[in-house]
Amino acid sequence: MLPARAAILTLLLGAAAVAAPSQAETIRVTIDRLVYAPAEIQAKVGDEIEWINKDPLVHTATVKGGAEVLLPAKKSGRLLLQEPGSFDYICRYHPNMKGHITVRP
């Protein structure tokens, strides 16, 4: 009984250890009353950002000269991070909303 349980545990841990380094994550950013929270994000290539817009207003996450995610009122939107770098982003409709993403390779 006990050895069997230990074996299962080892197997599970082993699987987790193998999967973890390559697994892409989804990082959630909430928008509430015109604020991105958290405003600062650390991610790696392959991760996805999901913005959850709780405002009754349309927002965007717009990287200057780059990607733009439209975030309709009370809806969410996603962006797959494909390249490393350091990106400032704003809302196109409310440029006083500011966020930053650091993407590691």
Partner 1 sequence: MTIRLTTAATVIALLFGANGALGADKPTDPQIAHIAYTAGVIDIEAAKQAIATSKNKTVVEFAESMVRDHEAVNKQALDLVKKLNVTPEDNDTSKALSQAAETKRQELAKLSGAEFDKAYVENEVAYHKQVNGALETLLIPAAQNSDLKSLLETGLKLFEGHQQHAEHVAAELK
- Least gap, CB of 34 to partner 1 (angstroms): 5
43 or 97, CB closer to partner 1? 97
Structure tokens at 73: 């009122």
* Contact residues for partner 1, defined by CB under 8 A: 33-35, 56-58, 73, 91-97
- Least gap, CB of 62 to partner 1 (angstroms): 12
Neighbours of 89 (CB within 10 A): 25
- Distances, alpha carbon 60 to alpha carbons 12, 18, 40, 46, 56, in Å: 40, 36, 16, 21, 13
81 or 99, CB closer to partner 1? 99
